[in-house]
């Protein structure tokens, strides 16, 4: 493959790479960890943390599969089981799926668009610490047997003050506060980075599809997450200060919770799925050795999915007794969203069919994704139908469906993406053999675990039951699912072994081992702290497959942290901007906010305490302290 | 191999409006806050349907005095803030400092008038009924916007008064003006919904 | 996998193998979905496997697709998208039509009206009658006449529950402060299992109910019997059991019509012995299980509102004799 990987690094006037590395790097050790303003090290930390929560959530799933493997089992009792399924859902959605996508995004996007960092590096670090504190809080609570137990959806009145006394649900509500702040911070980060920091030439219509996917996702986060933030705030207030938002006795309404929750909850699944489509488009194009077929159609599909995703939430509420006409509208909308997803699937298939396939493990994951995701999408269309949905709603049929679209639709592409970018993250190549084995075992384990659940649902098995009676006839399906879960676990272990093996003794990767087309492969593996010695310019969305002698950007300073800001639409250079460096204050702000939010579980004064602590730390954060910004000062 | 290069050393080092990343960051924050406020407003209208009369029987509509005074104060404060915005774009320290000081005072006045509303002019408490809960939430959320933007105004003012001014401080002042406009506009919306809505809905 | 799905299309699963017209219609509607889904899935997988089979040939360089082949692909993708849209339209129309026909079933004048109140974690059932004296209260087991429409009015005083009898119809939530209804009709006699389908707390798993569909005459006979006050104790032992019941803590929650026990927090026990199951479908109604349930309900159904009762062996036997006579 003739890819001009290093060619971009040679230019007229040499920059001082040592100086660049010094100013864009972070101090060694704990200090660097706490203060980092390097998007790559923060993202790596984010990814490892999110995968850690994924493993914990997986352990909970294993306990549930053990409990349900046979009727009337006593592995755990109802109280612990309810905490476990609540923690499993909340962990997977809030502490794994959304964070991991945003973490990969904040690592890859700046590289893919050819810039040195994210737009607000300190905010990025702050977001990580908030996420970590929130995740630790809820898991410590779980270990202390005060884990939330009202489901990840926390329907009122069950989650309200009358039927969930104690602090369990308050801890869940504050977990939401933490993770929403982190998700929103990352979303703004990605939007601004994408709009303002693209390298010269990367007009919107030349943006790689992964960047488009992250952009659409970030917009969805901004408009969806406030709904759950508002809802969980109302819930916390109902519980703590006797407000009546959801209390029917005082004019409140339990269905208001469901509307707010699903106004967030449905876009949420697209927030998880759309980045995954970005992974797939990237990987499919690279290994089919051709530009993706139907770039424009793909972009429009992503944008359409982003909009339509907000018009479906009521299909989670078909059994609540809504007027039929309204329900039909949401049926139509829910079916319509299959069209943009279908367009994407057909474009991937067209790309694969017309390309020169190089079969590597990341591509296998994507092919597995297509099969599983289509199956999950089809059962989704079934549930858009009100009469059928009212049969399978809240049964294992739904459990099967959304694991098909979330594990098949997001985790498979994610694992493919991790293998795909591992050479870039680490500078070393993963084992192809282990990659293929992990895929095969996961594919078999996945289908064995979740396929029988369709039949269990049709057999009448409701969700969220801690056990079932022998006469229900659900034993065989559950046993198969539990065996499948064990196989699935083995697959994840093989994957982990592969990652560890790569990091310790993988073969050196070189800049662009896959011969890929996007800019992250135009720098060393792993990339230097400054990403590119010279900011590249591009003239195509598959930049590295296009002309090889594109000019590079010169004139950015190498003695202060300076980035090139460009036009939001056509990416023409606009100005050079100084970027803040590492600081301890984002960490301190996160701690201050964390103290406030956790205190608010017990007393409304927590809000005041948190506000004061944040005011102090934010002042420290933004107070000018005469760092060299290369800027002439106008004296007073 | 000699490469052509695109020299950017002549480009300016700050920019205002949609050219500045910080402007986009604040627009993002406004989108988040605005969505949250809109969802609370939608909840208010949704719960309206659970009552025959509005406000619910036994609760009087909120008094208009303090809220209207606050609305006028905030609308008037737009004028000095627009001057701050313009002066910031021209990087003129004097007018920015004076304007920010005036707007900070308006912010404090707004918070004073808001306390009067909470202290009794709403004619309900947060725990009276669902109506009261929503009114308090709407006003409370908006009070957080006023507090946030006033604290930011004061901070930028302090930085500018302190002397050692960087050019990017003017971008901060300019972007904060944007958030102030948002604060005023959302108060207009909250005022219409809570104070007029209680009479019209 | 596909085979299993096809099998599901004709096996004895309650959602698909209904006991009434509504359930049948939904199952029929789903089979249309299933066939379309199978065609799409098989098509995609076959196409995918075929694409995966064609490996790189010759040079490994980047492919520059020529205009002619891109045009062919565009036509192919457009046709596929068009077919998808058509299939979705068919399914949308079928879905709305199914919804309408279910609505028509539900709009028939009901022969019987039942009010069901969901409570943590059992079903409080009242057979409504214009004559208040004919109203009858029972729990966790409802009888319905075959071939007649039964209107179920749903309410909840605590948390959200969902009423679901898969063989007869879809589910309907019971939401505090809201009035929901659902119509059910069985076309054949039989016993159908139902259960709560909305997570409602600790014992959501054990909130089941039984629907017994029987010929109208048998149903009327059952209803008449259930309207009668409780059978008086028939033996000295049963009389002592009656005294244990009304003299102990049982009366704080339970009612037995015809005695001074009239509390409504727990299930009505007037005709307890006529019911097939105990504790909302958790245990078969046998003296042994009943004894275990009375003495130590928490180990059967942890978290249930029923407290443990430490009764002497004699009292317990007497109580069982009394309750066993409540036919």
Confidence band of A240 (pLDDT split at 50, 70, 90): very high
For residues A173 and A154, what is the distance between their CA atoms, to the nearest angstrom? 9
Nearest Cα of chain A lies from the Cα of B57 at a distance, in angstroms, of 11
Per-position DSSP letters for A158-223, written without gaps between them: TTSTTTS-SSHHHHHHHHHHHHHHHHHHHHHHHHHHHHH-PPTT--GGGS-HHHHHHHHHHHHHHH
Residues of A in contact with C104 (CB under 8 A): none
Whose tokens are 């299959």? That residue is A338
Contacts of C176 in chain A (CB under 8 A): 157, 248, 254
Q: Do A251 and B12 touch (CB under 8 A)?
A: no
Contacts of A222 in chain B (CB under 8 A): 28, 31-32, 35
Q: Which residues of A touch C103 (CB under 8 A)?
A: 324
Asked if A251's CB is within 8 angstroms of B130's CB, the reply is: yes
By C-alpha distance, the chain B residue nearest A626 is: B164
> What is the rounded average pLDDT of the residues B28-37?
97
Can you tell me the mean pLDDT for A140-152?
Answer: 96
* Contact between chains at B130 and A200 (C-beta distance less than 8 A): no
A537-551 pLDDT, tens digit each: 999 999 999 877 789
Per-residue pLDDT at B2 exceeds 80: no
Contact criterion met (CB < 8 Å) for C99 and A255? no
Contact A575 B163 (CB under 8 A): no
Copy the structure tokens of residue B40: 């609370």
Nearest to A633 among B134, B147, B165 (CB): B165
Q: Which of B1, B132, B163 sits opposite A7 (nearest CB)?
A: B1
Nearest to A575 among B19, B32, B133 (CB): B19
- Kindly identify which residue of chain B lies nearest to residue A200, measuring between CA atoms: B6
| Residue in A with minimal Cα distance to C8 | A455
User: Rounded to 5 degrees, what are φ and ψ at A34?
Assistant: -75, -30
pLDDT per residue over A337-364, tens digit each? Answer: 999 999 999 999 999 999 989 999 999 9
User: Given an 8 Å threshold on Cβ–Cβ distance, is A352 in contact with C51?
Assistant: yes
b/e code A298-324 from CB counts within 10 Å (16+ = b): bbebbebbbebbbbbbbbbbbbbbeee
pLDDT at C65: 85
pLDDT in tens, B154-200: 999 999 998 778 888 999 999 999 999 999 999 999 999 999 999 98
Task: Check residue A602 and give its pLDDT.
Answer: 94
Position B163 scores a pLDDT of 75
Which residues of chain B make contact with A555, given a CB cutoff of 8 A?
7-11
The per-residue pLDDT for range C281-319, each reduced to its tens digit, is 999 999 999 999 999 999 999 999 999 999 999 999 999
Output the tens digit of pLDDT for each of chain C's 327 residues.
555 555 544 455 888 887 888 889 999 999 999 999 999 999 999 999 999 987 656 556 888 888 999 999 999 999 999 999 999 999 999 999 999 998 888 888 999 999 999 999 999 999 999 999 899 999 999 999 999 999 999 999 999 999 999 999 999 999 998 999 999 999 999 999 999 999 999 999 999 999 999 999 999 999 999 999 999 999 999 999 999 999 999 999 999 999 999 999 999 999 999 999 999 999 999 999 999 999 999 999 999 999 999 999 999 999 999 999 999
**pLDDT tens digits, B35-92:** 999 999 999 999 998 888 989 988 999 999 999 999 999 999 999 999 999 999 999 9
Q: Which residues of A85-95 are buried (b: 16+ CB within 10 A; e: fewer)?
A: bbbbbbbbbbb
**pLDDT 10s digits, C83-132:** 999 999 999 999 999 999 988 888 889 999 999 999 999 999 999 999 99
B46:A568 CB<8 A: no
Q: How far apart are CA C14 and CA C20, in angstroms?
A: 11
Instruction: Identify the closest residue of chain A to C304 by CA–CA distance.
Output: A78
The gap from C-alpha B67 to its chain's centroid, in whole angstroms, comes to 15
**A475-516 pLDDT per residue, tens:** 999 999 999 999 999 999 999 999 999 999 999 999 999 999
The residue of chain A with its CA nearest to that of B156 is A623
Test A226 with B32 for CB contact under 8 angstroms: yes
Report the percent of chain C where pLDDT is more than 70: 94
Q: How far apart are CA A313 and CA B63, in angstroms?
A: 37
State how far residue A284 is from chain C, nearest Cα, in angstroms. Answer: 11
Q: What does the alpha-carbon distance between residue A587 and residue A584 come to, in Å, rounded to a whole number?
A: 6
Separation in Å, CA of A317 to nearest CA in chain C: 9
Q: From the list B14, B18, B39, which residue is nearest A575 (CB)?
A: B14
CA distance A68 to A468: 8
Residues of A in contact with B143 (CB under 8 A): none
> Which residues in chain C are contacts of A64 at CB distance < 8 A?
none
- Check residue C56 and give its pLDDT: 58
* Residue A9 clears pLDDT 50, i.e. is over it: no
Nearest chain B Cα distance for residue A557, angstroms = 8
Nearest to B135 by CA among B52, B66, B198: B198
Q: Dump pLDDT digits (tens) for A257-274.
A: 999 999 999 999 999 999
For chain A, the average pLDDT equals: 93
Smallest Cβ distance to B6: which of A260, A553, A568? A553
For A554, name the nearest residue in chain B, comparing CA atoms only: B7
- Check B5 against A553: CB less than 8 A apart: yes
**Contact flag C171-A391 (C-beta cutoff 8 Å):** yes
What pLDDT, in 10s, does the model give residues A439-477?
A: 999 999 999 999 999 999 999 999 999 999 998 999 999
Average pLDDT value for residue range A369-380: 96
Work out how many CB contacts closer than 8 A connect A with B: 203
The per-residue pLDDT for A4 is: 41
* SS3 label, residue B176: helix
Residue A105 has pLDDT above 60, yes or no: yes
User: What is the average pLDDT value for chain B, to the nearest integer?
Assistant: 93
- Report chain A residues whose CB lies below 8 A from the CB of C210: none
More confident call, A132 vs A547? A132
Choose from A117, A536, A575 for mutation: most chain B CBs within 10 A: A575
Measured CA angle at A440 (ends A439, A442), to 5 deg: 65
pTM score of the predicted model: 0.95
Q: Do A374 and C41 touch (CB under 8 A)?
A: yes
Asked if C273 and C226 count as a contact pair (C-beta separation under 8 A), the reply is no
Question: Cα A138 to chain center, whole Å?
Answer: 19
Q: CA of A29 to nearest chain B CA: how many angstroms apart?
A: 31
Residue C194 host element (H or E): strand C190-196
Which of A321, A387, A412 should one mutate to test binding to chain C, selecting the residue with the greatest count of C CBs within 10 A?
A387
Of B8, B18, B131, the CB nearest to A568: B18
Query: Which residue out of A5, A163, A462 would a mutagenesis test of the C interface target, given it has the greatest number of C Cβ atoms within 10 Å?
Result: A462
> What average pLDDT does the structure give for chain C?
92
User: What span, in angstroms and rounded, lies between the C-alpha atoms of A386 and B43?
Assistant: 25
Q: From the list A229, A237, A253, which residue is nearest B47 (CB)? A: A253
Instruction: Say whether C44 and A343 touch across the interface (CB within 8 A).
Output: no
């Amino acid at each position: 493959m003739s890819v001009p990987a290093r060619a971009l690094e040679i230019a007229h006037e040499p920059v001082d790479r040592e100086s660049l590395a010094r100013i864009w790097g972070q101090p060694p050790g704990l200090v660097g960890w706490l203060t980092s303003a390097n998007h790559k090290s923060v993202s790596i930390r984010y990814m490892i943390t999110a995968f850690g929560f994924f493993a914990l959530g997986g352990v909970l799933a294993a306990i549930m599969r053990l409990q349900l493997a046979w009727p009337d089992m006593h592995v755990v009792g109802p109280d612990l089981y309810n905490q476990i399924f609540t923690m499993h859902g909340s962990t997977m959605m809030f502490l794994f799926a959304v964070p991991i996508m945003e973490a990969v995004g904040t690592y890859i996007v700046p590289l893919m668009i050819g810039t040195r960092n994210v737009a607000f590096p300190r905010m990025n670090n702050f977001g990580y610490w908030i996420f970590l504190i929130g995740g630790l809080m809820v898991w410590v609570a779980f270990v202390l047997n005060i884990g939330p137990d009202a489901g990840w959806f926390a329907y009122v009145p069950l989650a309200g003050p009358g039927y969930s006394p104690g602090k369990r649900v308050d801890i869940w509500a504050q977990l939401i506060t933490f993770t929403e702040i982190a998700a929103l911070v990352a979303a703004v980060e990605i939007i601004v980075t994408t709009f303002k920091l693209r390298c010269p030439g990367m007009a919107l219509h030349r943006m790689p599809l992964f960047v488009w996917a992250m952009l659409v996702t970030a917009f969805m986060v901004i408009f969806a997450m406030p709904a759950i933030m508002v809802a969980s705030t109302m819930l916390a207030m109902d519980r703590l200060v006797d407000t009546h938002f959801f209390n029917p006795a005082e004019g409140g309404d339990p269905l208001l919770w469901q509307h707010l929750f699903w106004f967030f909850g449905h876009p949420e699944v697209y927030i998880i799925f759309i980045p995954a489509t970005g992974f797939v488009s990237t990987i499919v194009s690279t290994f089919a050795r051709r530009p993706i077929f139907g770039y424009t159609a793909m972009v429009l599909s992503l944008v359409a999915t982003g909009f339509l995703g907000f018009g479906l939430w009521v299909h989670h509420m078909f059994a609540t007794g809504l007027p039929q006409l309204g329900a039909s509208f949401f049926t139509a909308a829910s079916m319509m969203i299959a069209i943009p997803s279908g367009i994407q699937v057909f474009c991937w298939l067209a790309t694969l069919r017309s390309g020169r396939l190089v079969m590597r493990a990341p591509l296998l994951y994507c092919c597995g994704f297509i099969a599983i995701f289509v199956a999950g999408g089809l059962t989704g269309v079934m549930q858009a139908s009100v009469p059928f949905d009212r049969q399978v709603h809240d049964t294992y049929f739904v459990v099967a469906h959304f694991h098909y679209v979330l594990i098949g639709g997001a985790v498979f592409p994610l694992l493919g993406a991790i293998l795909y970018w591992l050479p870039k993250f680490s500078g070393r190549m993963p084992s192809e053999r282990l990659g293929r084995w992990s895929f095969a075992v996961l594919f078999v384990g996945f289908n064995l675990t979740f396929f029988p659940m369709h039949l269990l649902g049709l057999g009448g098995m409701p969700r969220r039951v801690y056990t079932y009676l022998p006469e229900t006839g659900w034993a065989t399906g559950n046993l198969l699912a539990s065996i499948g879960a064990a196989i699935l676990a083995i697959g994840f272990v093989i994957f982990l072994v592969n990652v560890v093996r790569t990091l310790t003794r993988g073969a050196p990767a070189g800049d662009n081992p896959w011969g890929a087309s996007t800019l992250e492969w135009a720098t060393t593996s792993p990339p230097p702290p400054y990403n590119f010695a010279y900011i590249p310019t591009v003239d195509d969305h598959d930049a590295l497959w296009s002309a090889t002698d594109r000019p590079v950007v010169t004139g950015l300073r190498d003695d202060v942290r300076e980035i090139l800001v460009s036009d939001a639409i056509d990416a023409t250079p606009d100005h050079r901007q100084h970027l803040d460096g590492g600081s301890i204050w984002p960490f301190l702000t996160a701690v201050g906010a964390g103290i406030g939010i956790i205190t608010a579980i017990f007393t409304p004064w927590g809000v005041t305490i948190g506000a004061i602590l944040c005011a102090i730390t934010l002042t420290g954060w933004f107070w000018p302290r005469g760092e060299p910004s290369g800027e002439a000062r106008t004296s007073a | 191999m000699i490469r052509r290069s695109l020299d950017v050393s002549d480009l300016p080092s700050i920019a205002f409006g949609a050219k500045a990343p910080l402007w986009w960051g604040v627009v993002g924050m406004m989108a988040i806050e605005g969505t949250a406020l809109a969802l609370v407003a939608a909840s208010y209208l949704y719960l309206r349907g659970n009552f025959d009369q509005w406000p619910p029987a036994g609760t009087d509509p909120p008094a208009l005095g303090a809220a209207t005074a606050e609305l006028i104060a905030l609308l008037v404060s737009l004028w000095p803030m627009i001057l701050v915005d313009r002066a910031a774009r021209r990087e003129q320290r004097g007018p920015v400092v004076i304007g920010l000081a005036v707007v900070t005072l308006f912010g404090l006045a707004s918070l004073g008038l808001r306390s009067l509303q909470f202290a009794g002019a709403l004619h309900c408490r947060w725990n009276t009924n669902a109506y009261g809960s929503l009114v308090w939430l709407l006003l409370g959320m908006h009070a957080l916007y006023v507090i946030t933007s006033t604290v930011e105004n004061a901070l930028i003012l302090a930085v500018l008064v302190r002397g050692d001014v960087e050019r990017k401080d003017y971008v901060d002042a300019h972007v904060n003006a944007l958030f102030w406009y948002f604060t005023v506009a959302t108060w207009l919306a909250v005022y219409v919904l809570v104070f007029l809505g209680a009479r019209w809905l | 996998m596909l085979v299993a799905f096809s099998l599901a299309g004709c096996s004895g699963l309650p959602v698909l193998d209904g006991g009434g017209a509504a359930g049948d219609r939904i199952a029929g509607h789903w089979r249309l979905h299933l066939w379309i889904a199978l065609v799409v899935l098989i098509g995609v997988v076959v196409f995918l496997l075929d694409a995966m089979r064609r490996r790189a040939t010759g040079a490994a360089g980047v492919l520059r697709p020529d205009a002619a082949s891109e045009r062919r692909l565009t036509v192919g993708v457009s046709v596929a998208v068009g077919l998808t849209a058509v299939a979705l339209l068919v399914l949308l129309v079928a879905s709305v039509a199914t919804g309408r026909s279910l609505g028509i079933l539900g709009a028939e004048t009901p022969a019987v009206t039942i009010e069901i109140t969901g409570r943590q974690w059992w079903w409080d059932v009242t057979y409504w009658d214009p004559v208040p004296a004919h109203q009858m209260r029972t729990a966790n087991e409802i009888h319905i006449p075959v071939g007649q429409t039964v209107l179920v009015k749903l309410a909840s005083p605590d948390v959200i529950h969902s009423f679901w009898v898969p063989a007869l119809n879809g589910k309907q939530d019971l939401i505090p402060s809201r009035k929901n209804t659902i119509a059910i009709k069985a076309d054949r006699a039989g016993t159908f299992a139902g259960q709560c389908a909305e997570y409602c707390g600790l014992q959501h798993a054990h909130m089941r109910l039984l629907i017994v569909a029987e010929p109208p005459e048998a149903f009327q006979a059952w209803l008449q019997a259930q309207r009668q006050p409780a059978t008086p104790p028939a033996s000295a032992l049963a009389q002592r059991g009656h005294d244990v019941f009304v003299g102990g803590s049982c009366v704080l929650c339970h009612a037995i019509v015809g005695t001074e026990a009239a509390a409504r927090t727990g299930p009505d026990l007037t005709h307890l012995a006529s019911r097939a199951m105990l504790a909302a479908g958790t245990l078969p109604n046998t003296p042994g299980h009943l004894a275990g349930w009375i003495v130590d309900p928490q180990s059967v159904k942890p978290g249930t509102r029923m407290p443990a009762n430490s009764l002497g062996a004699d009292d317990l036997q007497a109580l069982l004799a009394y309750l066993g006579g409540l036919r």
